[in-house]
Structure 1
């Protein structure tokens, strides 16, 4: 069995969907990783934090909004790898975190990318991530940028019996574009498995990495959904490129704007493919790690429909 030098990994945003996937994957390898997680004092009693404690995670009280750069530097002492999965909207919070990492000697930072690939100027949300990348590079902070494919849970249509007005359910009962545009996807629960490989790989230092389980089309996904559920989803509304553009022209609220730009990029423009990500300079994670075994889309679908 190979011997490893343990890496101290400090996570900010660990209790979210992506962060918790990473924590659980790293916790499976206690011989390789020591995990610390910054958690707001108000969240200390949440079930997911209690789960982390049982997994051996060291919980560090703190709040990215309230901590000063100096206090973050203290908390990051002896850290090898910093991973941030918080939303990158407030630039000053992000900037002070990564400057603190630099000043405390962190060997690698991973900012909150963890989304589909897209070129500049297509999505305002993606552009905010790209600006943060530029800040990290400008300040000569050792880094890795990790992109993930579209979550399959945002591709499958919800059953007719599922009710609600949340964005997920509303989006999950709509068909976008022609349905023939290729889409790279990464199962959320597998994001952490990729991250565990990437963050200690010298080949990925100061690089962008595209993770993916497979590529599909919305048409193929909905066909799988019909086979597994026995339901016909043809009655769900279809939204064209012009429908999406119309929404964007009408000054939507922030969340609607972000989701509409994602739909245009992923389902209409076809930005989210492995070929295009590599064309923009990303390394292909499946080439880096040929032993990785992806979960078939049919299995992901069975898991999805078993839980809703």
Structure 2
């Protein structure tokens, strides 16, 4: 089979496409013929050796969609998708024509999603749902602030929370960001260039602040996110752009009884990730949860796609498609 591969982590220059043996499934595993596989920022960080659990040599790729062709009889010939666990980091991942997957990590493909849309959705919606589970148990009547709401994870968080009755405030850097995403849900937008974000939040909430924050930006907006919280507000952060070290007013933090939580989806087992995705299936089936804009590429294009994602110059979410497997 053909696969994207790196002999050692640390540089994207180590990525190359080569022929490898088709893996054989072990007990409790299935062999999946990959039809489509997304390229995520975490895949790039894995290749750069910046994520935990990375071992080399390795075939990267955390998201997959395809057909089971070998393994337990109950899974034979089923169309599946999934993500999570140590895929692409501690075991070979999806950027190959075939991969093995523990059966607890398989989710049947919903009728509403094709292979490309499924793999484009899986990690983004997994991350968004995992973040929201660390926030209020009841969203009806609450306000959620989402930074980076035009991105894959941010827009997924906005869709999920809005479907459960939340009022969603989202940040955007420019009108162009919004124009590039006509598919975005009903969000009250905050222009980051107009005034400090926390002031915008206070204006929109009559001075109260937001009940919760999902932050996919981190560093540059960290203090503003904390300042945007209402008393006893909850804040989950899952990424940080630029300088990872931040500071904040600890007195203000404890006086308002704020809660700060981190999220790392690589700590979810592949079975836990599959369980989260299954809870989202009704939303996919009803068309409430839709994929981000996608650019399909070939496996040979994958190294360049990694560079584009690393340089933040990817206009859409890259999805590797394997034409021979897509039917």
Q: Under a length normalisation based on structure 1, what TM-score does the superposition of the two structures give?
A: 0.37
Counting helix residues as a fraction of each chain, which structure ranks higher? 1
Q: Under a length normalisation based on structure 2, what TM-score does the superposition of the two structures give?
A: 0.35
Counting strand residues as a fraction of each chain, which structure ranks higher? 2
**Greater RCO between the two (CA within 8 Å, min separation 6)?**
2
